Amino acid sequence: MKLYDYSGIIHFHSEYSFDGRASIPEIIGAARESGIDFLILTDHDNLEAREKGEEGWHGNVLLLSGEEVCLGQFNHYLVFGHDRPLGPAFAGGSSPQALIDKVREQGGIGFIAHPDHEGTEMFHVKQYAWTEWGVGGYTGMSIWDFMTDWQSSLKGYASGFFGYFFPAYALRGPRQVTLKRWDELAKTRKIAGIGECDNHDTPKKLFGVTLRVFPFRRAFRFVVRTHVLLAEELTPGNKTGISNILDALRRGAGYVAMEYFASARGFSFTISSGPREATMGEDFLLDGPADLRVTTPAEGMIRIIKDGMVFLQKKGAELEHRVVEEGVYRVEVSLKRSGRNRPWIYSNPIYVKEGERLKTKC
């Protein structure tokens, strides 16, 4: 089946958040300039953009109105596709499990936000990590948050100025603790991974100078994007666009990328045997040796991660391997730029399980 690859920005704040300042038209204009296909707005504890009729198509950019529910300083949850704002009832210390259950009751999906956020003393940003890992029923989690990554690079004034003017060069990729947790969770059930932006266009003073961190027209050039794979084209005016994107996010049908150095569109990761083929977010029943294939739109270092461990790596734009064991397989790709390997692409897994023929043999 032909799948269409679309890139979007998830988790950012507009003037409808107490700590946001940008208008929806300004954000849409920035997305259009950067070639972004869809946006998922997550204002704090409200769906005001939807209520004001701003959700939907804006030319060739599709805006979805979601919500960031903050259960106090810790345990922030991104909610999409739900009927009514949940923040007013749950903000400020309610049970994370109760929130997750309410989202499912409303027919929505939810993702744990910036799970290992540490904050930064330089900009007086507190820690906003997720602490309640005993919960269940959430759709997925953020695996790479731009703001968490960028803030972690700010260790002093020199790194602060460098990070502000050259943010893409300051990024180190997803935190290893986050990836390790995701891999462990994926051994027990499907946990869809997304990328976050978490931009507010916040004014900050440094040496008496007010800096905007970051204007959306600048931010959208280097923040982390989430790609979804859709069976139907995302054409302007298409009324099924929102539901199709939400379904792809729920299934983990896609990947995460930072595309300042090179576009990731066209990245492919499949496992197949004869006419049977699975891609990101799908199960593959292994009834004999199968073919794993990765292709990238530019040459990089391709790594296959199996059950949380580096299984195979190769430099190039293609990788093929014969799969003979069940496991959870995902892909990481880095690019060599300015003398360093830069984080680029992180795929959702393919879940390989033994088919009946192999089980019978065992």
> What's the 3-state SS for 22-67?
CCHHHHHHHHHHCCCCEEEEEEECCCHHHHCCCCEEECCEEEEEEE
Domains within the chain, CATH numbers bracketed: 4-258 (3.20.20.140), 268-361 (2.60.40.10)
Mean pLDDT score, 16-23? 94
Confidence at 1, pLDDT banded by 50, 70, 90: confident
What's the pLDDT at 362?
47
What's the pLDDT at 358?
55
Strand partners, 56: 63
Per-residue pLDDT tens digits for 22-77: 999 999 999 999 999 999 999 999 999 999 999 999 999 999 999 999 999 999 99
What's the pLDDT at 356?
58
What's the pLDDT at 212?
83
Q: Identify which of 134, 250, 270 has the alpha carbon closest to the alpha carbon of residue 192.
A: 250
What's the pLDDT at 125?
79
Confidence at 334, pLDDT banded by 50, 70, 90: very high
What's the pLDDT at 93?
72
Radius of gyration over alpha carbons of the chain, in Å? Answer: 20
| Residue 330, helix vs strand vs coil | strand
Percent of the chain scoring above 70 in pLDDT = 96
Distances (CA, A) of 24 to 28, 181, 215: 6, 35, 13
Positive/negative CA dihedral, 79, 82, 84, 90? negative
What is the chain's mean pLDDT, rounded?
Answer: 94
What's the pLDDT at 243?
98
Mean pLDDT score, 96-123? 92
Distances (CA, A) of 202 to 21, 113, 205, 212, 223: 8, 19, 10, 5, 15
Confidence at 159, pLDDT banded by 50, 70, 90: confident
d(CA 128, CA 142): 13
The structure tokens listed for 233 are 């084209």
More confident residue, 315 or 355: 315
Q: Are 106 and 135 in contact (CB under 8 A)?
A: no
d(CA 314, CA 38): 32
- What DSSP letter does each residue of 114-143 carry, written as one string? STT---BTTTTBPP-----TT-----EEEE
d(CA 277, CA 97): 36
Specify the residue for token string 């033994």. Answer: 354
**What is the CB neighbour count within 10 angstroms for residue 136?**
10
Per-residue pLDDT tens digits for 219-237: 999 999 999 999 999 999 9
122-126, 142-146, 176-180, 181-185: least confident range: 122-126
What's the pLDDT at 361?
55
Compute the residue count for the chain: 362
